[in-house]
Amino acid sequence: MAVFFNDHFVANENALLHVSDLSMQRGYAIFDFCRTKNWRPLFLNDHLDRFYASAAAMHLATRYNKEELTAIIYELIERTLLDEAGIRILLTGGYSVDGYQPASPNLIITCNAVKTASLADFENGITAMTYEHQRELPSVKTINYMMAVWLQPLLKEKKVNDVLYHHKEIITEFPRSNVFIVTKDQRLLTPSRHMLRGITRKQVLSLAAKQMDVEERDIRTEELLQAAEVFLTSTTKKIMPVAAIDGNIIGDGKPGVITRKLYNEFLQLEQQGGQ
């Protein structure tokens, strides 16, 4: 499998970072992740815009402009021969002389097989628990998922699929997904701050605005539990209903009318190549 490493395409086994890289020494790196469908990356411009914004926020220089990076990604797709894959663009803090100061960033782009949520997954939905936590630099897509990983044993103990963060009783995000609620009077709500602005989130907001009232604002935990529908959005999960939160059934525990409609419209958007 081919990998783009700094300035060259190399075999996967040769894409090696030195232990002095700040991604290993201090967990200092950013990334972005998009999917391909029929050999085309979905919503690539949006993903690259977020990648460059994250790099700038973390003071990491990028050696390729947007057009050059796009060309590299398309060549990588051709080399891997996967019609549906996950593209991961990683930019690290570089080989630090003291394990603390950033250096020249290392760029690694991979293209691998990816598992996405199926229609059966959509019909089943997920269960979730809430947890008080606020990520550092929430608007930046860093590699820091420490809390999410640390919570995995608790999720297994509670027998739930995912965790929804809240801060001072205001919900923010899932570790790898954005959250939406449909109110009983059929308004669509989603958090407006203290979270990462997902690319699928952006598409859903655009689709929904054509047919219903949409609000980006603070959402309190009690509103969450009173919702008619709750769903999450992400690159691999697409749109996924949340059937229960903290043991409380949302609606009738099945995908709601609005969730299902947006899901079908999003699938159509994918088939059009994300345009």
Tokens of 243: 């059937």
In 81-146, DSSP assigns E strands to: 86-92, 107-112, 126-132
CA-nearest of 182, 226, 174, 219 to 200 is 174
Instruction: Give the residues across from 78 on adjacent strands.
Output: none
- Residue 254 designated active-site: no
Tokens of 228: 């008619």
Quick one: how far is CA 139 from the chain centroid? 12
Contacts 24+ apart (CB under 8 A), 269-274: 269/203, 269/207, 270/37, 270/42, 270/238, 271/37, 273/37, 273/38, 273/40, 273/42, 274/37, 274/40, 274/41, 274/42, 274/43, 274/44, 274/203
Which of the following is catalytic: 141, 158, 202, 254?
141
CA distances from 165 to 39, 219, 237, 274 (A): 35, 12, 18, 29
How far is Cα 247 from Cα 229, in angstroms, rounded to an integer? Answer: 15
Task: Please enumerate in sequence order all residues whose Cβ is within 8 A of that of 13, keeping only pairs 6 or more positions apart, or say none.
Answer: none
Question: How many C-beta atoms lie closer than 10 Å to residue 226's C-beta?
Answer: 13
Which active-site residues does the annotation give?
A: 141
